[in-house]
Amino acid sequence: MTMTISPPASSKLGARLRGLGSVLLSLAVTLFGLLLVTFIIGRVVPIDPVLAIVGDRATEAQIEATRVALGLDQPMWQQFFIYAGNALQGDLGQSIRTGEPVIEAVARAFPATLELATLATIMGVLAGVPAGVLAATRPGSLADHLVRLVGLMGYSMPVFWLGLIGLLLFYGVLDWVGGPGRLDAAYDMMYDFEVTPVTGMILIDTALAGRWDMFTNAISHIILPAGLLGYVSMAYISRMTRSFMMNELSQEYITTARVKGMPEWRVIWVHAMKNVAVPLITVVALSYAYLLEGSVLTETIFAWPGLGSYITDALLVNDMPAVLGGTVVVGVAFVLLNLFSDLLYKLVDPRAR
């Protein structure tokens, strides 16, 4: 009779602490690199932040006083640590265009982007995963070719072109959806007075306020841009799901399950999908992060007041503090999503712990 000796609790705790330390160190290095890159970009662009603030007609004394106030008279390394220290405290500078703190403007704009990207990702997963499984279980069939063709079109066609065609057809001609913006003009004027902005996401806030008429109107406006972004997400997710599923269906344990007479749906959706879900988590997280940072053109076309539109508007008027502040927030969201996907990966697959 053999006895299994489990490792002492202290060694388990030490291993977990080392794992946590490794994650925190990786997170710190990534954020340091993000701040360093944005700082360098802010210094190499041919835009003088002092002149952008005081204007071309300012005197030399005013320019020098502003430069000292901003800390631009300090050595470059010292400027970076001042910038990084302020960013870690939530101070991303002040917008040159409006004069308000960038973090406040970003906090207003980010929920709109988060709402749009979240709904698009949900659409992409609900359509992409079944489509990828269907294509993988029928390789070479009409369904397989159709899924691959639809995915290829999602990769190939520019999002801004799809947005313009969608507005022309579904809003301009068929009148099936709402137009640009998050609400009709009449509801938009009432929103600030009748709805408490709990989350900043209009669907949730109108539902919490019980304004179902406004909720329905918000859905008619978000469904088209979210559907287009969801289509792009679906193209990526369906392709990767097909690849992962075809690899799993060729494994010996799948053949064994079929030989034992297990129903095909259980072989695919229980046994194979359990292993497919592990790399698919990373794919969905990357797709979600891409939608958070890459929906600039979609927000511009649909007049969606999100972070992409905010960064674009700031870039057009050379408002670099706003551009860099928005970029830092997007980068932090990307890093946190990657961290979350890694944690979820370990929960789903015990071998990765």
The domain locations on the chain are 17-88, 111-352
pTM for the structure as a whole:
0.83
Sign of the dihedral through C-alpha 170, 175, 180, 184: negative
Tell me the C-alpha distance between 219 and 177, whole Å: 9
Residue 100 CB contacts under 8 Å (≥ 6 apart), including other chains: 94
95-147, pLDDT tens digit by residue? 877 778 889 888 888 999 999 999 999 999 999 999 999 999 998 899 999 99
pLDDT at 1 over 50: no
CA angle 60, 61, 67 (to 5 degrees): 90
Tokens of 210: 């019980």
CATH of region 111-352 = 1.10.3720.10
Phi/psi for 181 (5° steps) reads: 95, 175
139-159, pLDDT tens digit by residue? 889 999 999 998 888 888 888
